[in-house]
Amino acid sequence: MDPANAGDIANLGVVVGGDAVAVIDTGGSVAVGAALRAAIRAITKVPIRYIINTHEHPDHVFGNAAFSDATFVGHHRLPAVLAERGPYYLQSYRDQLGPDEIAKVRIIPPGVLVQDESTLDLGGRVLHLRAAASPAHSHCDLAVLDAASSTLFAGDLLFVRHVPVLDGSLMGWLSLLRQLSATPALRAVPGHGRQVVAWPSGLADEQRYLATLAADARRLIAEGVPLGQAVARIDQAERGQWQLFDDYNPRNATAAYGELEWQ
């Protein structure tokens, strides 16, 4: 996120039912959220009733204040994670968004919590919500299936072209993807990168990246290569396959090493 993109870096979703609209993630600033709200108003008069946040990261929740009259829905751990990290996010994203935009941001936790699986009836159109049991991409990932359009809104459980970002558990993420790939959907909306990909084939690149991350980290740990030297040698075969590789791969490599050295 930076002032030039105003936090507009994540894919956002809208599902219009017979008597309710559901929004899936609200973008990385209130300006992005407001623009999304205006775009929805241009296509439907149906009230915007539900805001679903797929996880806690700022580029997915900082637009929440543009929908403060709606009902917020999220993973059952999301309120606690937002309480813990929200103040830190507001502080650390001040430079990226600028003082005016950051002042508008409100950390709004969900009032409707998803424990495991749940549904939202939009009026003749039912969304299926699935909360990850343990950390994967983040600490509280939530996936949304719109059966009517056979579309899976994967949030940041799915990255396409944009290098995956690990902020939960590598083993948890790989294991969740194996389950998620069985979701009956024809297409998926990733959290970042292309807007729509075929499902589950659109998952292949990310699975390969994460599996290589784990394999490289394990091998270097076994060889006794220390963390400081291992980072630059992990997942290098994936360089060139992803945008923002140098921004996030070293962090992912560090997290993978820290997670796997006790296995």
Partner 1 sequence: MPTRRETFGVGAATALALLARRARAADDDPWPSLAAQIFDGKPISSGADVLAIDAPYRAMDAALVPVDISILPGADGARRVRRLTLVVDANPSPLAAQFEFGADAGIDHLSTRVRVNDYTNIHAVAEMTDGALLAVSRFVKAAGGCSAPALTGTANAIPLGTMRWRLLPQKPDAPAGTREAQLMIRHPNYSGMQMNQLTRLYIPADFIQKLRIWQGDRPLLAVAGGISLSENPEFRFRFRPEGTAPFRADAEDSKGHRFHSEFPAAAV
* Residues lying near partner 1 in the complex (CB under 8 A): 77, 80-81, 83-84, 88, 92, 134-135, 139, 168-169, 171-172, 223-224, 226-228, 231, 250-251, 253-255, 258-263
Closer of 121 and 247 to partner 1 (Cβ): 247
Minimum CB distance to partner 1 smaller for 91 or for 119: 91
Shortest reach from residue 261's CB to partner 1, in Å: 7
Closer to partner 1 by Cβ: residue 45 or 262? 262
CB of 194 to partner 1, least distance (A): 27
Nearer to partner 1, 70 or 78 (CB): 78
Phi, psi of 53 (to 5 degrees): -100, 125
Closer Cβ to partner 1, 38 or 83, answer by number: 83
Q: In what order do the strands lie in the sheet with 126-131?
A: 117-121, 126-131, 142-146, 151-159, 187-192, 197-198
Least distance (Å) between residue 123 CB and partner 1: 35
| Residue 231 phi, psi dihedral angles, 5° rounding | -55, -45
Q: How far is the CB of 6 from partner 1 (least distance, A)?
A: 23
CA atoms within 13 A on the CB side of 179: 13
Q: Cα-Cα-Cα-Cα dihedral of 194, 196, 202, 203, to 10°? A: 80
User: What separation in angstroms does the CA of 246 have from each of 219, 238, 258?
Assistant: 21, 11, 19
Cβ at position 181, least distance to partner 1 in Å: 22
Q: Output the smallest distance, CB 57 to partner 1, in A.
A: 14
Q: Which is nearer to partner 1, 54 or 249 (CB)?
A: 249
Q: Which is nearer to partner 1, 33 or 79 (CB)?
A: 79
Q: Are 26 and 32 in contact (CB under 8 A)?
A: yes
Helices 204-222 and 245-260: crossing angle, nearest 10°? 50
Give 80-91 as a 3 state SS string: HHHHHHHHHHHH
C-alpha dist (Å) from residue 171 to 138, 211, 212: 12, 9, 12
CB of 262 to partner 1, least distance (A): 4
